[in-house]
Amino acid sequence: MKTSDLPDGFRDMQSFGLVEALLGRRSRRFFKGAEIPDGVLKFKSRFEPMPLTELEKLLVVAACGGNTAWHHLIFRADRYAPHLSNYAAAAGGRTFPSSAGFHTSMTFFTDDEGVCVLDARDAPAFAERADDGSLDPGAFLEAMRGRVKKLRYGRLQLPSVVPYVEAHNTWVVNHPGTLLVTPVGDLAQHVLLNLCYMLQNGLVLTDDIHRRPIPGIEEFKGIVDAGNTWPLTFVEQWSLAELTTELATSCYAGALMLQAMGLGGWMFNGIDAFAFLGASGNPDVPGLGFRYDTDERWPYPNPTGLAGIMEGHCPPHYPDMRAAVDAVCERKFGPGGPFHPDTPGPWKDSRAVRSAARVHGEEFRRCVALQAQYVFDTFGKFPGTVPSIFLIMHLQAHHLDLEFYDRFFKPGSCLKTHAGHMKAWHPSG
């Protein structure tokens, strides 16, 4: 993709100031084709819905989940120095942070054309950085385009009505012309990575719900003090909080991009997460179509994955938790992983750096798998007290109807990028 062929708005976006994006960030919900049928802000757009162009869509999705070259890793941990810290699960960095480089999320998006996923979780660098630290935006976008997979044609089948969408969002969410971006996290994998992190730092689980240690954990006294524990509920809630941060900052990055591009939209959590994933219980509302299970012990259905696209690190996508642990270790230490010597990187001697991490050996893996399998056997799922697959935040992007803002708002409610968007991005429109 040649940057010389891009519209003026692209170059304006590149020079848009960070402070201006921060101070100008605002939820701007009224889009071309929208209608508020009643109340003090009653207004009906006289425009037809205007979908984002392919370039606009790529840029918004890239802001939410694009690869930004190589992750720098964590350099040192006191307990096992001089070995390199071995927490990360991905070699590539992204537009948002993830706890210790776990990066378990994938970016789904939908518009009038279809439902897609950006598969950048384990991508190598989209583009190598120049000596001044810059990335070639054309190469970045071309690499990203190759990572987009279309799952189905047509907008996501999630009607904008209660109970699938919160009452205050029914008039605006997932309507024609809008782009809806949703990062989805593999919380099962995140918890497994935290169990690895814990064991690397001398900790194991204890079941604080049933008030007992993990049976058989004493077998591993050679590598860990079985009395040095963290409660199961704490570890799972902490993992949920860490993953929530990852998903939220993904959408926040996208929200800042909206200001630079002059697009409307906002980040929000007003969609039923289970219905979105596919656990609505209504065949007419399939959502993303993730597999889910129910159990009388659980307060809600438990989505576990989308076959061939995003499979949670737990049964039924793996025969048992040992297989899921091995898959996590393969992601970390196998080809393309952050600790494989042949994976490129940002260092002058990347082979030496990546080879400096301690590989999780057989006894280590058995210890992690014992704890994980206990949770699965005890609670019927993994993790035991939180969902296997989790989402909370969405970003919607759309073209603003500025006539609504001129009608109801004082000058300054929109930025200069919004006022000039059509001329800069759609000169022939």
Residues 198 and 190: their CA atoms lie apart, in Å, by 12
Reported as a single tens digit per residue, the pLDDT across 31-69 is: 999 999 999 999 999 999 999 999 999 999 999 999 999
Bridge pairing between strands 291-293 and 264-268: unpaired
Question: Quick one: DSSP state of residue 300?
Answer: S
Task: Name the residue range of residue 89's domain.
Answer: 3-425
Q: What does the pLDDT read at residue 3?
A: 65
Q: What is the mean pLDDT of residues 321-331?
A: 98
Q: What does the pLDDT read at residue 127?
A: 87
Reported as a single tens digit per residue, the pLDDT across 79-108 is: 889 999 999 999 999 999 999 999 999 999
Alpha helix stretches (DSSP H) within 100-186: 137-145
How many Å separate Cα 245 from the centre of its chain? 10
pLDDT above 70 covers a percentage of the chain that reads 99
Q: What is the mean pLDDT of residues 336-362?
A: 97
Q: What does the pLDDT read at residue 2?
A: 63
Q: What does the pLDDT read at residue 5?
A: 77
Two tokens, residue 418? 């919004």
**pTM summary value:** 0.97
Residues 89 and 120: their CA atoms lie apart, in Å, by 13
Q: What does the pLDDT read at residue 282?
A: 95
Closest CA to 239 of 200, 205, 271: 205
Q: What does the pLDDT read at residue 222?
A: 94
1 pLDDT exceeds 90? Answer: no
Q: What is the mean pLDDT of residues 327-355?
A: 98
Two tokens, residue 305? 């994955």
**Mean pLDDT score across all residues of the chain:** 96
Q: What is the mean pLDDT of residues 266-288?
A: 97
Omega of the bond leading into 387 within 30 degrees of 0 (cis): no
Task: Return the CATH number at 117.
Answer: 3.40.109.10
Q: What does the pLDDT read at residue 4?
A: 65
Q: What does the pLDDT read at residue 429?
A: 65
Reported as a single tens digit per residue, the pLDDT across 221-233 is: 999 999 999 999 9
Q: pLDDT band at 256, cuts 50/70/90? A: very high
Question: Quick one: DSSP state of residue 35?
Answer: E
Question: Quick one: DSSP state of residue 92?
Answer: E
The residue length of the chain stands at 429
Alpha helix stretches (DSSP H) within 147-269: 187-200, 232-261
Strands annotated E in 235-373: 264-268, 291-293, 302-306, 310-311
Residues 195 and 424: their CA atoms lie apart, in Å, by 50
Residues 383 and 236: their CA atoms lie apart, in Å, by 7
Q: What is the mean pLDDT of residues 204-221?
A: 98
Bridge pairing between strands 67-70 and 105-111: unpaired
116 pLDDT exceeds 90? Answer: yes
Bridge pairing between strands 179-186 and 105-111: antiparallel
Q: What does the pLDDT read at residue 271?
A: 98
> Dihedral sign, CA of 155, 161, 163, 166?
positive
Domain count, the chain: 1
More confident residue, 78 or 108: 108
Two tokens, residue 200? 């690397």
Q: Let me know: does 174 contact 158? Beta carbons within 8 Å.
A: yes
Q: What does the pLDDT read at residue 377?
A: 98
Residues 45 and 32: their CA atoms lie apart, in Å, by 6
190 pLDDT exceeds 90? Answer: yes
